[in-house]
Structure 1
Amino acid sequence: MPQRPAPKPRPWSEMATELVDVATGRRPADLVVRNGRWVNVHSGEIVEGTDIAVVGGRFAYCGPDASHAVGEGTEVIDAGGRYLVPGLCDAHMHVESGMVTVTEFCRAVIPHGTTSMFIDPHEIANVLGLPGVRLMHDEALAMPVNVHVQMPSCVPSAPGLENAGAQLTVADVEEAMTWENIVGLGEVMNFPGVAANDPVMAGEIAATMRAGRTVGGHYASPDLGLPFHGYVAGGPEDDHEGTRAGDAIARVRQGMKAMLRLGSAWYDVAEQVKAVTESGVDPRNFILCTDDSHSGTLVNEGHMDRVVRHAIAQGLKPVTAIQMATLNTAQHFRLEREIGSIAPGRQADFLIVSDLPGMTIDAVYARGRLLAEKGRLAIDIPAYPYPPEAKNTVNLGKRLSAQDFDIEAPSGANEVRVRVIGVIENQAPTRALEADLPVEDGLVAMDRANDVCQIALVERHRGTGGVTNAFVSGFGYQEDCAIASSVAHDSHHIIVVGTNKQDMALAANRLAETGGGVVLFSKGRELALVEMPVAGLMSDERAEVVAEKAGRLVEAMRRMGCTLNNAYMQHSLLALVVIPELRISDVGLVDVRTFERVEVFV
């Protein structure tokens, strides 16, 4: 029978005398691991022949011989010369992108060595507001690993350019800063607002600073001139939106932490890590994260172990890459006395690793308890029930028809020039493209031969029946099809992309029936469906079940002609009106270079 997870250790201040007694041999440890190679992220070295002793979920002794800490009730493990690695930390991520709840996310990533996560639940905040944040905050507290929460800062992400299902205020941020598990302010996406001294952005940042918490950043612009300097001066302390080595260098020089992300669709580590490997910038201010990983990636490829492996493959020393996923993160969030290293007093979160460059994880311990072994959970994590009010959030206001996706051409036109959202492989930004499209019976037609199909955003929070129509390129669909998703960062209306308007209507209507998720139709047939009834963002099924359904979705998209890596993740970000260049929202097309609404027709 799997054992229940251990509670969070008592504070170091309350345990200091016990730790001293174990370290000096006056009382036995709960656990001793012998004959390990200590990956010491403080000194940047690997120390051979190390023993560690644990009591009450904290490290008490790390040294050459812990035999003095072994007593009658002590569990003794022989590491057999394998590496002792601190539990891995994900410095910036959104649980909702995994399509699962916090509980299921933990079940998926613990076997991959993740023992601390810093989550920004701004997806559920855009649907359910502050109560939604509280739901995930409380679920996080019930986990057997550290799931720290950052209070969402931008709901909606771009006021005036979109309407979300909720709105957060400075007062909401002030309240959240009093909650037990809030460690900071989530990514401040309204970077023009910070640079312009928007009172809401300035107020939220000030409230976070007064509480002594970390301010998360999101500067999604290549402009490193005065707007960038204004943003840094406004208070954000990190940024994960860089894509170039120069982006990382610029942020570190300004005192920020450069967060390098490898998610399911964001491959930003390889270029930016050159700041360290080629330019020699000090790695202590670089942090690894995932940002967005869907369930298929988590179950089949890994989590932070995948990111560390990738960083090592780019030329980082293994210890340096591990520092970027442990100690650097802990220091950034002012938690280095709790997590991020194997050292006395810290929580006993560690991995036993047989191959360091390959991050082959044989066992995962958190709070001194074995959680996973050889890729399988060794504990039971009970399901966390979400209340009925967190479900049934998809309200279209009417049943949609193919005509709702018509785009009428200017009177008398035989051809029109239109703006097109251009998807970029493996990156969050899009391109602002233009295309000449034919007009048929007064309606603008798609151009499948040149990979221009339709995109629509369907309002789903207030039942207005509103549909915004435009064009997108980059998915490569060759068949009659449509994919609809109620995950549409960050306002989370429904995004529909298709080559056939009948299928577009069927797909959107199907999500109203299921309470949310992602679905693919072709020629009137449903080919794949991932139900996500919790706020229209998360499934309440097991992660491996969701991963299997997501795999069928990806395969169906490929059969339709889509060759993009992780196309669903690209699809879900097409409404994110804080990342350049061109996006769609419920108010129309948005040029994020100027933060202005623009027309479909040029």
Structure 2
Amino acid sequence: MSIRPMSAKTYRRLLNVSLRKEPATAWFKDVYYLNVYTGQVEKGHIYLAGERIAYVGDQEPLVDGQTMIIELDEEQVLVPGYIEPHAHPFQWYNPLTWGEHLLKQGTTVSVNDNMFLLRSMGDREAMQFIEELDSRGQHLWLWWARFDGQTGTDRHEARFSEESVKKWLAHPLVIQGGEFTSWPRLLKGDEELADWVRMTRQIFGKRIEGHLPGASSETLNALAAAGVGADHEALNGEDVLKRLRLGLYVSIRYSSIRPDLPAILQEIKEMPGINPARLMLTNDGSMPFFVDQSGCPQMVRMVLEAGFAPEEAYRMVTLNPATYYGLDQELGGIAPGRLAHFNVLNGLENPQPIHVMVDGEWVVREGKRLHAVSGEWLTRYFRPVSKNISLEAEDLKRGQGEVGLELSNEVITRPYTYHPHDPLHDDEAYMSLVDRQGKWVLNTRVKGFAGSTLSGLASTYTSVEHYLLIGRDHKRMLQALHQALEQGGGIAACFDGGEELNIPLPLGGGMSLAPMSELKRLNEQFIQKMRAHGHPYQDPVYSLLFFTATHLPFVRVTSEGVYLVKEQQVVTPVTLLV
């Protein structure tokens, strides 16, 4: 697979520079570099023809006055640019801010979820967006093509069609199908979904990544047979081993809700003979407060501290993901023909790069980003949410059922029963899902999200296009919604005693143009405030996001009603308002 096709002229220049018939554009002069193919640190000359490596070896290149000559200190070593194999680039930050942040960590490539694009715009505009992002930015954003909306409702799933899936899979920046959350439908005989999976593998020749938490060996067997090639939901070393035995690649997570990596690494080290060539590392869409802890440098350091050899650790963020995605002739190593993505390190024991090069150009020097890209153009694609919604506090009391949602951790919710006329318990609140056009509302209760001092919270940041309200006072919940809409989208909350918290997310109601440092500050402030008011877990933002996502057990709020995931049953329908 080629993601940067060469013209005939560029191709000839690459060959001629390699043959020393034309001058190199850049020359790394007699430097130490990690050869991820042999596992050795070698010393030699590396020279470039534009964005690609032309030569690696003992011979010096032909140079002229335009050749950039680069000499490294004796203790410094060159490694390939890092690859994040599983990203969700819409977690308050936008894809551009995400890519800019990754570059400073030496992660030059990320493979990204297209879900927010599917929710926000049509296919044509979405593809214009990923192409403009590619042309403006210096990070390399690759994408995946979703098969479903992980909402379990017909209204949202109608967005997914064979025509749409084909368009995405045909795009050169799209390199896989998935993440595949609707696999239970496949195993139950959904013929349309089976056609899409087969099409992805056999017609487009692209990978399929699963989403397989708790899957048995029998389920993994069936999905591997169907074409799933990797999974990021291993919860322990045994889960990793089950997947490896069946030929799957495994992305091990270190995320804000699943910081499993250190424990899993220790378990794997105790399994003699495990081949780490099919292991990758991911932060799986961490929230802003966690991104500095979960970048590729931090994860590589954890692998080194667990006792893995340096070449094994670095392969997990370079060669292994490149090989999995069929891009190992483009990325993941320092060899002729590859794109010139390099990190300069102060030794392999220090994975945080000093300098970063992408496509033959320095993008980070001495840890500082060069020529950062403005994101104002993003407002053409992601617009503020509408302020116009007709809703009364009494609407938040209508049609309450008797099944609520109880948080077991940040993202797992279990059903519980209540009587609509019963007073709220201290850890209980009202919950409403509101149609963004005010056409319907779903009213229920939630336990375990906050204590008795949360008056009202509203969020346009959900896994669907609708608005989530939580609180113990219906009027304050409605006030919070109007505040969130007034700022173009985001989260607004008010507490007993007059405390308030506002997080503007005016890009489509879920993202901001603010730098990562500011989003980190807001994220930490939100967590501290929610924990002070009774939230018992580490990441309440993911709770808000996933209350509406049916790819997780056991009960969710959807545009059709309170939905039991395993039973695929609506137990409390929405109430129509117009």
TM-score, normalization by structure 2: 0.88
Residue pair 1:102, 1:136 contacting (<8 A) in 2 also: no
SS of the counterpart of 2:109?
strand
- Residues 129 and 168 of structure 1: CA distance in aligned 2, closer, same or farther (over 3 Å): farther
1:424 matches 2:417: no
Residue pair 1:177, 1:211 contacting (<8 A) in 2 also: no
- Residues 433 and 126 of structure 1: CA distance in aligned 2, closer, same or farther (over 3 Å): same
Structure 1 unpaired stretches of 5+: 1-7, 411-417
- Pairing partner for 1:260 from 252, 255, 267: 252
Residue pair 1:519, 1:526 contacting (<8 A) in 2 also: no
- Pairing partner for 1:472 from 441, 444, 447: 447
Opposite residue 540 of structure 2, the aligned amino acid is: A
Work out the CA distance in 1 between the residues paired with 2:152 and 2:265. 30
Work out the CA distance in 1 between the residues paired with 2:525 and 2:248. 40
1:359 matches 2:351: yes
- Aligned match of 2:111: 118
Q: How far does residue 332 in structure 1 lie from its aligned partner after superposition?
A: 1.4
Moved more, 116-125 or 99-108: 99-108
SS of the counterpart of 2:79?
strand
1:445 matches 2:403: no
- Aligned match of 1:173: 165
Residue pair 2:300, 2:351 contacting (<8 A) in 1 also: yes
1:512 matches 2:485: yes
SS of the counterpart of 2:285?
coil
Q: How far does residue 39 in structure 1 lie from its aligned partner after superposition?
A: 1.7
SS of the counterpart of 1:364?
strand
Work out the CA distance in 1 between the residues paired with 2:534 and 2:572. 29
Residues 423-572 of structure 1 aligned to structure 2 (within 5 Å): 423-424=408-409, 428=411, 430-432=412-414, 434=416, 443-448=421-426, 451-460=427-436, 462-473=437-448, 475-477=449-451, 479-489=453-463, 491-523=464-496, 525=498, 527-562=500-535, 564-572=537-545
Q: How far does residue 323 in structure 1 lie from its aligned partner after superposition?
A: 0.9
Q: How far does residue 406 in structure 1 lie from its aligned partner after superposition?
A: 7.0
Work out the CA distance in 2 between the residues paired with 1:478 and 1:503. 14
- Pairing partner for 1:18 from 2, 7, 13: 13
Q: How far does residue 113 in structure 1 lie from its aligned partner after superposition?
A: 0.8
- Aligned match of 2:38: 43
Work out the CA distance in 1 between the residues paired with 2:451 and 2:353. 39
Q: How far does residue 42 in structure 1 lie from its aligned partner after superposition?
A: 1.3
- Aligned match of 1:148: 142
1:585 matches 2:558: yes
Opposite residue 257 of structure 1, the aligned amino acid is: Y
Work out the CA distance in 1 between the residues paired with 2:306 and 2:398. 47
Q: How far does residue 567 in structure 1 lie from its aligned partner after superposition?
A: 2.3
- Residues 194 and 384 of structure 1: CA distance in aligned 2, closer, same or farther (over 3 Å): farther
- Residues 271 and 497 of structure 1: CA distance in aligned 2, closer, same or farther (over 3 Å): farther
SS of the counterpart of 2:90?
helix
Q: How far does residue 347 in structure 1 lie from its aligned partner after superposition?
A: 0.3
- Aligned match of 1:4: none
- Residues 332 and 225 of structure 1: CA distance in aligned 2, closer, same or farther (over 3 Å): closer
1:198 matches 2:174: no
Q: How far does residue 599 in structure 1 lie from its aligned partner after superposition?
A: 5.9
Q: How far does residue 61 in structure 1 lie from its aligned partner after superposition?
A: 2.2
Work out the CA distance in 1 between the residues paired with 2:487 and 2:534. 26
SS of the counterpart of 1:174?
helix
Residue pair 2:398, 2:443 contacting (<8 A) in 1 also: no
Work out the CA distance in 2 between the residues paired with 1:407 and 1:559. 32
- Residues 374 and 498 of structure 1: CA distance in aligned 2, closer, same or farther (over 3 Å): farther
- Residues 43 and 128 of structure 1: CA distance in aligned 2, closer, same or farther (over 3 Å): same
Residue pair 1:164, 1:492 contacting (<8 A) in 2 also: no
- Residues 31 and 563 of structure 1: CA distance in aligned 2, closer, same or farther (over 3 Å): farther
Residues 223-302 of structure 1 aligned to structure 2 (within 5 Å): 223-274=215-266, 276-279=268-271, 280-298=273-291, 300-301=292-293
Moved more, 224-233 or 394-403: 394-403
- Residues 213 and 147 of structure 1: CA distance in aligned 2, closer, same or farther (over 3 Å): farther
Work out the CA distance in 1 between the residues paired with 2:122 and 2:240. 33
- Aligned match of 1:413: none
Work out the CA distance in 1 between the residues paired with 2:563 and 2:216. 22
Work out the CA distance in 2 between the residues paired with 1:239 and 1:224. 13
Work out the CA distance in 1 between the residues paired with 2:397 and 2:486. 19
SS of the counterpart of 2:170?
coil
Q: How far does residue 141 in structure 1 lie from its aligned partner after superposition?
A: 2.0
Moved more, 336-345 or 389-398: 389-398
- Aligned match of 1:130: 123
Structure 2 unpaired stretches of 5+: 574-578
TM-score, normalization by structure 1: 0.85
Q: CA deviation digits over 1:37-59, x for unaligned, max 9?
A: 31222122323x34322221111
Opposite residue 556 of structure 1, the aligned amino acid is: K
- Residues 270 and 456 of structure 1: CA distance in aligned 2, closer, same or farther (over 3 Å): farther
Residue pair 1:240, 1:260 contacting (<8 A) in 2 also: yes
Work out the CA distance in 2 between the residues paired with 1:15 and 1:275. 47
- Aligned match of 1:208: 200
* Number of corresponding residues: 568
Opposite residue 94 of structure 2, the aligned amino acid is: T
Give me the identity figure in percent: 20
Opposite residue 261 of structure 2, the aligned amino acid is: V
Residue pair 1:405, 1:467 contacting (<8 A) in 2 also: no
Work out the CA distance in 2 between the residues paired with 1:306 and 1:493. 36
Q: How far does residue 408 in structure 1 lie from its aligned partner after superposition?
A: 5.5
Q: CA deviation digits over 1:65-90, x for unaligned, max 9?
A: 45444543322222212121111111
- Residues 424 and 232 of structure 1: CA distance in aligned 2, closer, same or farther (over 3 Å): same
Opposite residue 126 of structure 1, the aligned amino acid is: R
Q: How far does residue 530 in structure 1 lie from its aligned partner after superposition?
A: 2.3
Q: How far does residue 370 in structure 1 lie from its aligned partner after superposition?
A: 0.5
Q: How far does residue 94 in structure 1 lie from its aligned partner after superposition?
A: 1.4
- Residues 231 and 285 of structure 1: CA distance in aligned 2, closer, same or farther (over 3 Å): same
- Residues 424 and 50 of structure 1: CA distance in aligned 2, closer, same or farther (over 3 Å): farther
Opposite residue 39 of structure 2, the aligned amino acid is: G
Opposite residue 86 of structure 1, the aligned amino acid is: P
SS of the counterpart of 2:239?
helix
Q: Give the alignment's Cα RMSD to 1 decimal.
A: 3.0
Q: CA deviation digits over 1:158-203, x for unaligned, max 9?
A: 244xx43961201111122333322222311102112123133222
Moved more, 342-351 or 574-583: 574-583
Work out the CA distance in 2 between the residues paired with 1:455 and 1:271. 36
Residue pair 1:10, 1:56 contacting (<8 A) in 2 also: no
Q: How far does residue 286 in structure 1 lie from its aligned partner after superposition?
A: 1.4
- Residues 467 and 526 of structure 1: CA distance in aligned 2, closer, same or farther (over 3 Å): farther
Moved more, 350-359 or 126-135: 126-135
- Aligned match of 1:109: 102
Q: How far does residue 127 in structure 1 lie from its aligned partner after superposition?
A: 3.8
Moved more, 69-78 or 184-193: 69-78
- Pairing partner for 2:66 from 65, 73, 77: 73
Opposite residue 424 of structure 1, the aligned amino acid is: N
Residues 329-368 of structure 1 aligned to structure 2 (within 5 Å): 329-368=321-360
